Amino acid sequence: MHQLILSVLFAMLAGAASAQSYPSRPLRLLVHFPPGGATDIVARIVSPLLAARLGQPVLVENRPGANGSIAAEITAKAPPDGHTLLIAGTTSVLGLNEVFYPNLPYRVSDLASITRLVTSPFVVVVNSTLLPVSSLRELIAALKSKPRQPFGSGGTGSAMHLAGEYFLSLAGVDIYHVPYKGNGPAMSDLLGGQIPIAFVDLGSTTAYKTYAKVKVLAVAAKNRVAMAPDIPTAAESGLPGWEAIGSFGLMTTAGTARPIIMRLNKEMTEILNTPEIRTRILETNNEPAPTSPEEYDALIKSETAKWIKVIKEANIKVE
């Protein structure tokens, strides 16, 4: 018993000592999507401020592929010292990847929550040259008259993919999935005319506001969102029940000392609540929404349970 108490005390002292010297070198901030998507944009907004507060560079590193598994594995296998951070999708990387891919090279338990960063509703977007529609009702009618059209998303098993499959199920249309390594490439191909439809988060459409052919038809939310009040909800557009809010958060390696995690939580929460940064992020169609580590853990569990239920009820298949 005495040995156990001593071990706990030594661990606490070691954690406190590591927290006092933290950070001792530059930090890696891994983004599991290519440049151009919402995760990458937010990472590049917050990283300079985090670097200034920590006194060390914070280097954004894009490691796309395998629905986030590549970046998540790097983080999971890094030394548990808080120098490797990951921006990860709540629903996919931290939730459903384990459901869809039993042979993942990481487990969610290999990662430690720091905070949720932002939320952004999912949307359906069309290339209006390929699909000359101006509303969700018109899109559904067009897809019923001309089925088997492709839709793009940020990857197989991603939250955007599931939002698209859920749309397909509720609308009763026959469309098929084309996976991309992120929302940025999907939106690029939508603009270029390679695909007529994409399901992405609202934040990933920001760079395409000036392109007339890129039309956001509806948000998958219960109410219109403050970032884009002119975009109707799916329910307003004749598809009640299609609701899907995306979010992503900041993670590090499991086993990282609690004081380091709470330091990162404090710094990031203050950054996200800074009026200037909040305004900049809202302009990207994302909404800052920091949480405690425990609140983010609970959100990951609840979102995973919600989507497993949707998958079963809608008979969604992920090949």
Burial of 300 (0-12, 13-18, 19+ CB in 10 A): buried
How far apart CA 276 and CA 299 sit, in angstroms, is 27
Residues 6+ apart with CB under 8 A from 145: none
In 3D space, the residue among 61, 5, 64, 3 whose CA is nearest the CA of residue 32 turns out to be 64
Tokens 């169609």 belong to residue: 285
pLDDT score at 12: 53
- Alpha-carbon distances of 60 from 31, 46, 56, 91, 218, rounded to whole Å: 7, 10, 13, 22, 32
pLDDT score at 18: 63
How far apart CA 312 and CA 216 sit, in angstroms, is 28
233 and 220 in one domain?
Answer: yes
Q: Determine, yes or no, domain membership for 42.
A: yes
Supply the mean pLDDT for the chain. 91
CATH number at residue 129: 3.40.190.10
**86 bridge partner residues:** 30, 251
126 and 114 in one domain?
Answer: no
Domain end position, chosen among 203, 227, 244: 244
128 and 115 in one domain?
Answer: no
253 and 111 in one domain?
Answer: yes
> In angstroms, how far is CA 5 from the centroid of its own chain?
41
pLDDT score at 281: 94
| Total domains, the chain | 2
pTM of the model: 0.84
Domain end position, chosen among 244, 264, 290: 244
141 and 42 in one domain?
Answer: no
CATH number at residue 294: 3.40.190.150
In 3D space, the residue among 209, 174, 173, 214 whose CA is nearest the CA of residue 190 turns out to be 214
Tokens 């425990």 belong to residue: 294
Burial of 135 (0-12, 13-18, 19+ CB in 10 A): middle
Q: Determine, yes or no, domain membership for 200.
A: yes
Low-confidence stretches of the chain (pLDDT beneath 50): 4, 6, 8-10, 13
Q: Which domain holds residue 223?
A: 121-244
Q: Find the helix or strand (DSSP H, E) in which 70 lies.
A: helix 69-76
Q: Determine, yes or no, domain membership for 227.
A: yes
In 3D space, the residue among 66, 59, 63 whose CA is nearest the CA of residue 74 turns out to be 63
pLDDT score at 16: 55
Q: How many CB atoms neighbour CB 206 within 10 A?
A: 18
pLDDT score at 8: 47
